[in-house]
């Protein structure tokens, strides 16, 4: 079964390895390594700017932050939307790489660990959900078909591996329900984020009511209730509400 890893490169028939061809091979490998390192530098710069501004920066600003010429940026990404979708995909990969690796282990896996992973790599990553909301809102035609296909293909692979792993650890889940559980859980997170934050003004966000917790607290509460129903975990939602109420008194 495939796991999250770099895309395998097609292999060519073996050739007699002369000194010259060996040198060319090393040069190309070095060039590929440098290209990937520069690509990651660009994503790091875009991530830093997004964390500061809570919005997508233009290619020129990212180029300055990455200490590159603006023209160089277009060798890697053809638009800021492609750049930020690649950044979002990197966030998603970080989460799924750790989730799938954990699910592959024989030790029992419970909701507490799932929540810890979500806290660390989604709720605790300041740019994950804001950027995800931006990418969901891209107008039709913004991205090239091959870029969309790559994003959807990787996401489908990770969801399939993660969903299958959850079904092994949560016997109540029928075949296919693991993927649905992951998708619905993300919908809860991104939906609650959208209710509590507004692109134009936080003043237009959904009103807060007494005894409500922070976005993170409300998200954990919603996920606990949902997983208790679907995956058959202990429902500690009432206890969480009590704790929130006590903390606010």
Domain of 156: which CATH number?
1.10.357
For residue 60, how many other CB atoms are within 10 A of its CB? 11
Q: What is the pLDDT of residue 148?
A: 97
Domain boundary among 77, 93, 112: 77
Joined tokens for residue 34: 């440098």
Domain boundary among 58, 77, 96: 77
Residues 194 and 191: their CA atoms lie apart, in Å, by 5
Whether 5 is in a domain gets the answer no
Q: What is the pLDDT of residue 239?
A: 57
Kindly state whether residues 88 and 177 are assigned to the same domain: yes
Kindly state whether residues 93 and 60 are assigned to the same domain: no
Whether 214 is in a domain gets the answer yes
Kindly state whether residues 163 and 42 are assigned to the same domain: no
Q: How many CA atoms lie within 13 A of 185 on its CB side?
A: 29
Helix ranges (DSSP H) in 54-143: 59-66, 70-73, 80-103, 111-118, 128-136
Kindly state whether residues 71 and 84 are assigned to the same domain: no
Residues 141 and 189: their CA atoms lie apart, in Å, by 26
Q: How far is CA 200 from the centre of its chain?
A: 24
Whether 13 is in a domain gets the answer no
Residues 101 and 124: their CA atoms lie apart, in Å, by 20
Whether 2 is in a domain gets the answer no
Kindly state whether residues 229 and 171 are assigned to the same domain: yes
Whether 161 is in a domain gets the answer yes
Kindly state whether residues 71 and 93 are assigned to the same domain: no
Number of domains in the chain: 2
Structural domain range at position 33: 19-77
Q: What is the pLDDT of residue 26?
A: 59
Q: Are 85 and 50 in contact (CB under 8 A)?
A: no
Kindly state whether residues 146 and 224 are assigned to the same domain: yes
Q: Are 174 and 111 in contact (CB under 8 A)?
A: no
| This prediction's pTM | 0.81
Closest alpha carbon to 219 in 243, 196, 242: 196
Q: What is the pLDDT of residue 69?
A: 96
Kindly state whether residues 39 and 129 are assigned to the same domain: no
Residues 164 and 34: their CA atoms lie apart, in Å, by 36
Kindly state whether residues 92 and 192 are assigned to the same domain: yes
Whether 10 is in a domain gets the answer no
Kindly state whether residues 67 and 92 are assigned to the same domain: no
Closest alpha carbon to 56 in 66, 65, 47: 47
CATH code assigned at 31: 1.10.10
Q: What is the pLDDT of residue 22?
A: 45
Percent helix / strand / coil, the chain, rounded to 5: 70, 0, 30
Q: What is the pLDDT of residue 99?
A: 98
Q: What is the pLDDT of residue 3?
A: 55
SS3 66: helix
Residues 222 and 185: their CA atoms lie apart, in Å, by 9
Domain boundary among 38, 62, 77: 77
Q: What is the pLDDT of residue 9?
A: 35
Residues 185 and 182: their CA atoms lie apart, in Å, by 5
Closest alpha carbon to 178 in 91, 107, 96: 96
pLDDT tens, N- to C-terminus, the chain (249 residues):
445 544 433 333 333 444 444 455 557 767 888 999 999 999 999 999 999 998 999 999 999 999 999 999 999 999 999 999 999 999 999 999 999 999 999 999 999 999 999 999 999 999 999 999 999 999 999 999 999 999 999 999 999 999 999 999 999 999 999 999 999 999 999 999 988 875 445 565 677 777 788 889 999 999 999 999 999 987 665 455 455 545 555
Kindly state whether residues 114 and 183 are assigned to the same domain: yes
Kindly state whether residues 115 and 48 are assigned to the same domain: no
Q: What is the pLDDT of residue 29?
A: 67
Q: What is the pLDDT of residue 57?
A: 96
Give the contacts of 15 (CB within 8 A, at least 6 positions apart). Answer: 21
Q: What is the pLDDT of residue 6?
A: 41
């Amino acid at each position: 079964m495939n796991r999250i890893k770099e895309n395998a490169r097609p292999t060519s028939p073996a050739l007699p390895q002369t000194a010259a061809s060996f040198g060319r091979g090393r040069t190309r490998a070095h060039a590929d390594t440098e290209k990937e390192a520069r690509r990651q530098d660009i994503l790091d710069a875009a991530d830093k700017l997004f964390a500061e501004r809570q919005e997508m920066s233009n290619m020129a600003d990212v180029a300055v932050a990455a200490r590159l010429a603006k023209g160089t940026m277009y060798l890697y990404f053809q638009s800021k939307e492609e750049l930020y979708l690649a950044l979002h995909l990197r966030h998603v990969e970080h989460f799924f790489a750790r989730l799938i690796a954990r699910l592959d282990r024989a030790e029992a896996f419970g909701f507490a660990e799932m929540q810890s992973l979500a806290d660390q790599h989604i709720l605790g990553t300041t740019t994950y959900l804001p950027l995800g909301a931006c990418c969901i809102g891209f107008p039709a035609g913004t991205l090239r078909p091959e870029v969309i296909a790559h994003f959807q293909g990787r996401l489908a692979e990770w969801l399939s591996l993660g969903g299958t792993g959850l079904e092994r650890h949560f016997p109540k889940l029928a075949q296919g329900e693991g993927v649905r559980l992951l998708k619905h859980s993300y919908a809860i997170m991104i939906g609650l984020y959208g209710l509590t934050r507004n692109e134009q003004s936080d003043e237009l966000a959904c009103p807060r009511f007494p005894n409500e917790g922070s976005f993170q607290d409300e998200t954990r509460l919603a996920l606990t209730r949902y997983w208790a129903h679907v995956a058959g975990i202990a429902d500690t939602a009432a206890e969480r509400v009590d704790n929130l109420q006590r903390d606010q008194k």
